Amino acid sequence: MVLHPKQTNLPQNNVDHHVVSMNTKIMRPSKLEYKIVKLFHRHTKILNNLHNQYIKHVCENGGDILEIGFGGGVTAEMIQNYNIKTHTIIERDDYFFKKLWEWSIDKPNVKVIHGDWVNDIPKDKKYDGIFFDLWNDSEDYSRRKKLCDLLDHHTKPGTVFLCATEKAFDKSLYIEKGHDYQEIKTTQPKLKWYQILSHIIRKHSIENGKIIQYLDLIPKVIYKG
C-alpha cells in the first residue's frame, strides 16, 4: 500500500512509487540533532568501521532489507552498495524523515515509511535482512520481547537480524526460540584515542539515555523459520 505523504509537508513530486506515510504519533523535528548525527557517523572512523561490519552481515543474503532508523543516512548508503532487491527504511522523526525522503528520490528500490517499528512495519512483508539502529529506546524488558515477537511476522528461514541498539536487544529471547545466535568479533581501528573516546561517549550515553555503544562483539541472529 502506497499512500501520499501529505501530512509530512514534503514536496509532492515523484513520490508515489516508493513512499509510504502512516498515521502515527511523530516526534518533534530535530534539525540540529540530524546534523550532529550525520557529521559524527560520516566522519568518525570507529563508527564507519563498525557500521560496515554490521551492514556486511545484514546484507549477506541480498534480497529484501529492512532498516529501522535512518540516522544520518550512512548505513543506508552502505546497504545500497550491496546487491539487494528492495530496501525499506522506517523513520519516525519529522526532520530525519524529510532528509530520508530527499535521499530516496532517485533510488527506485527504496521504500520509506514515516512511522515506528511498533506499528508500521508492512504487515505482509518478510525480509532477508533486518538492521535495527535507533538513537534511543527504553530499557524495558517488555519492549525487547515485543521486538522479538514482532519480528517473527517479518522473517523467514535464513533471515539475518542485527541490532545496534543495545537496550532493545536481549539475546536470550532469540535463543529460547531456537534461532542461531552468533557474536561477531569486531575489527576496531588502531587509533590511540579510541579508548578515551569510547569511555566519554559511554558516559554521555548513560547520563542522557542515548544509545551510542562501541561493542567488541556484534550480536547476530539467524532465523530458523
In tens digits, what is the pLDDT along the chain, a chain of 225 residues? 233 333 344 443 333 334 444 433 434 446 555 455 555 555 455 566 777 889 999 999 999 999 999 888 889 999 999 999 999 999 988 888 998 999 999 999 999 999 999 999 998 899 999 999 875 555 567 888 999 999 999 999 999 999 987 778 899 999 999 999 999 887 655 545 555 555 555 555 444 444 444 556 789 999 996
Cell of 203: 558516559
Measuring CA to CA, how many Å separate 221 from each of 85, 107, 119, 147? 21, 28, 22, 13
Residue 29 DSSP class: P
pTM score of the predicted model = 0.75
Fold of 6-222: Rossmann fold (3.40.50)
H or E element: which one contains 46?
A: helix 45-58
